[in-house]
Amino acid sequence: MIGVIDYGMGNLYSVSKALERVGVPYFVSEKPEELKEADAFILPGVGSFGDAMDNLRYTKLDQLIHDMVSEGRLLLGICLGMQLLFEESEENGTASGLGLLKGKAVRLKAEDEKGNKLKVPHMGWNRLSFHNESPLLTKTEQGYAYFVHSYYIDGMEENALLASADYGVRVPAVVGKRNVFGAQFHPEKSSTVGMSILTQFTKMVAEQKVKK
């Protein structure tokens, strides 16, 4: 059973519908005592990094996440939820993140290296390029994913970069280290690519349960 973490800033409806499409049992909760019963977790997110972290700390869901990750349970962050996995963000000053992965969320540049203007926020489809192998990814996923964001992760560990997209800079699109994973784009809006990632995540959860 996957627990979708509700801290007041997640795209819960679309994530829930996507999980229903891949046929995985899940529940949505804001209560740490309920979420402790989940086999794995999804951390969605839309909005401001600092506000999101404030909500997680206020509800003590940040501690739950750290505890469950320490126990080896799988975690998948989506969009803002992926950025929250890292150490900090420069959005509206500097805000500390969960610190589960090394790196910092910085604002996308308004032009590329050749001086071509870019719209920020970045909204649209971008092709993924693969970097490191992971059970979260399959060969069929080297297609296009749908992004909506103004910040990207800089300074992350290369071995944690699973896939990237190009938008003036290299944008980490899928990340993963040990049992912590993230997708900068919206899997639930990314057609075959997104559904494949959610399906692979559920398979990883099932395999983890068998090993236990």
154 beta partners = 104
Q: How far apart are CA 172 and CA 132, in angstroms?
A: 12
Higher-pLDDT residue of 138 and 102 is 102
Catalytic pick among 79, 88, 131, 149: 79
Catalytic pick among 37, 131, 188, 207: 188
- CATH of residue 133: 3.40.50.880
41-95 pLDDT per residue, tens? 999 999 999 999 999 999 999 999 999 999 999 999 999 999 999 999 999 889 9
Collapsed DSSP state (helix, strand, coil) of residue 59: coil
The alpha-helical segments, DSSP class H, found in the chain are 12-21, 32-35, 49-58, 61-70, 80-83, 191-211
Containing domain of residue 112, as a range?
A: 2-211
- Report phi then psi at 197, rounded to 5: -65, -45
Cα angle 79, 13, 176 (rounded to 5 degrees) comes to: 30
What is the domain count for the chain? 1
| Global confidence as pTM | 0.94
110-167 pLDDT per residue, tens? 888 888 899 999 999 999 999 998 999 876 556 899 999 999 999 999 999 999 999 9
Inform me whether the pLDDT recorded for 24 exceeds 80.
yes
Task: Note if 186 is an active site residue.
Answer: yes
pLDDT-derived band at 172 (thresholds 50, 70, 90) equals: very high
Q: What sign does the dihedral 86-91-96-97 (CA atoms) show?
A: negative
Ranges 95-99, 141-145, 167-171, 198-202: which has the least confidence: 141-145
Inform me whether the pLDDT recorded for 36 exceeds 80.
yes
Q: How far apart are CA 43 and CA 9, in angstroms?
A: 10
11 half-sphere exposure, CB direction, 13 A CA radius: 19
Catalytic pick among 33, 141, 186, 207: 186
